[in-house]
Chain A
Amino acid sequence: MLDFMDTVNISASGMTAQRFRLDVIASNIANAETTRTEEGGPYRRRAVLFAEAFQNAVDELNPPDVASLAGVRVARVEADSGPFRMVYDPSHPDADENGYVQMPNVNVLREMVDLINAQRAYEANVSALNTTKAFANAALQIGKGG
């Protein structure tokens, strides 16, 4: 017998992961022009890496079964090592001797595409959650003679 709450938790983990991704995308967009950070230098774009989650340890000898499925988790947040944008702006306080400023390697257009992706993925998880609710409701109607 399957517990519907476990299925709800799978969809909830997907929603949490996508929301976290939205937070990181928002941080990237907010810092698209940030030239000074704690680590020194301009802001580096951050990317979220997801990994499949299980309720217990899974390896080659213990393949995952249905009871061990636990949705998705955030594996890590990685800084994008791509090159910074060089912008010619001699009046900028952080300009070098040639008048160039190192700007963050954030491409706002790309972040917007990611944002829409995350939103759609979030909605898909909500849809799965609602279907789980319909399942539980159908099961509860058994024996009522409807």
Chain B
Amino acid sequence: MSTKVVSLLDREILTKAIRDAFTKLDPRAQLKNPVMFVTLLGALLTFEQLVTSKEPFGYVLQLALWLLFTVVFANFAEAVAEGRGKAQARALRSSRKQLVAKRRRKDGALESVDALQLRKGDVVFVATGELIPSDGEVIEGVASVDESAITGESAPVIREAGGDRSAVTGGTRVLSDQLTIRVTADPGEGFLDHMISLVEGARRQKTPNEIALTILLSALTFIFLLVIIALKPFGVYANVLFSVTTLIALLVCLIPTTIGGLLSAIGIAGMDRLLQRNVLAMSGRAVEAAGDIDVLLLDKTGTITLGNRMAAEFVPAPGVSPDELAAAAQLSSLADETPEGRSIVVLAKEKFNLRGRELTGTHNFVPFTAQTRMSGLDIDNRQIRKGAAESVKAWVIAQGGVYPPAVSESVDKISRQGGTPLVVAENRRVLGVVYLKDVVKGGIKERFAQLRTMGIRTVMITGDNPLTAAAIAAEAGVDDFLAQATPEMKLARIREEQAKGHLVAMTGDGTNDAPALAQADVGVAMNSGTQAAKEAGNMVDLDSNPTKLIEIVEIGKQLLITRGALTTFSIANDVAKYFAIIPAMLVGAFPAIAPLNVMHLASPQSAILSAVIFNALIIIALIPLALRGVAYRPIGAAAMLRRNLFIYGLGGIIVPFIGIKAVDLLLNAIHLI
């Protein structure tokens, strides 16, 4: 599921979109979009001209049809985006259909009901092998749950009552044990249902920037409407009769139909792209805000570093060979199944070619306890221990041994560097120190450098002490860190950044993350997290992958770039359209103006028709771009502006000259005019 991307040319979606493109012609639906509403009115007026105009019937008919197609194409763009979004959401939802829930009655008995009848607050029981009927919170039991239907991750996850792993999603399957779950959402109000409504054009709320852009487009439409209306009296003065069809054609060409037609599709496609990455957004506004984020709060563990610390180095005590230390450390770790322990065995093997030996003779493993804070092995008469420096020191001294100052120094040095020192001793003798360090994820440093060029600062949140945190921060290349962080500190940090004008994004899963998630401008809750966390955030990551935040920011930016690029393109297009239509309008009355027909379009009528056809076709041509989004590159604002201005600004001026000329050649070649 996580990798499923609906193809741009999915036949089922296209067929439905074509049907929708016509049903959306309903003027009431068009009123939401003033640019297309004016275009639709223009088309209807042109059809009316079929009866009254003195111009050739075939010409007026073609004009009217192409004007209508302009609206249909815009509808089609929206319908395709919607179709893709719904397909995406449906795939997610299909798992939830026809579930039977075992609801606990007041008297404690269980009754079977349809999952759709569940209401918030109901308590259901789910046994091994059954599907969880609704989103909810575990109130009793521990179980492993297969969430692959939602996340695509095949490894089962543990869900248990209390703590940060209590939330379950409808449609996932309990693999072992059994759970009692309190339903937290009425059917139809779950995240998925919410998401589906966001990809439906009709029910979608416009985002703030979209509203502002609509104001701009409406005002431009109004200005051009005035220009066209004023042309009629200007024509009277100049003794030129401008036909109604010509004026409508010019109007539709000048108003920003390209962006007006694609604006809604761009917004929906942005939500689709989030869905493809298994992120559910609670609102379009959140996606837009993601583009503006300039501070990312990232948890260290799991996001910046791998979950566990790994052995990185053996630092022997004076008079001890590295081999000896490594061998002892390996022996002491043979029975240690923790990742740290395993990493010691591996490091010894890699560095000193020491194989994990079969143990001979009498041996006894000493497990780690919270009291001793050591673990190890008694073999023959050797007692090998590894553990926290203080504990091992006490152990050695208790046996009458000496704790060498050099080892103390090594321990301090490792701590300063952000590592965890493990001291290894054999009987009374201290052998040396194992340097355990947090392993920063591969490629993360480059990612942060990219973020920096995007103007985004990363702040690492960690429970480590400031020394350790600083060292890891330096290695990972984050801009700042928050050490020994508590949930309260997180919240305070977000408020502080926001007070300075920054927009902050963070991820979280625990209930105690909820206030910070709510405060952040973009709060991404992990699907594995608690219900409280999910409700506080404005996005949910079904994969529970904290690194996803970076992708979310990119999707937000891509959405905004696409909107800006197509607006620029649309407005820049007007230059060529003027050059096509103005000479065509005037050449009849003033043949001297012919040189202004720089494209050498065959006749006034073919010039006007070509401009209108180009204007309609460019919408279709740009649908893939609107749905895919303009490629985002982390190259910094200045370079990106230069690049996009060149492509969509300059391109927007040049492309229609070529396009209109091509349409004109074609029209005349097949004698449509």
- The answer to whether A and B belong to the same complex is no
Which residues of A are in contact with B by a Cβ distance under 8 Å? Answer: none
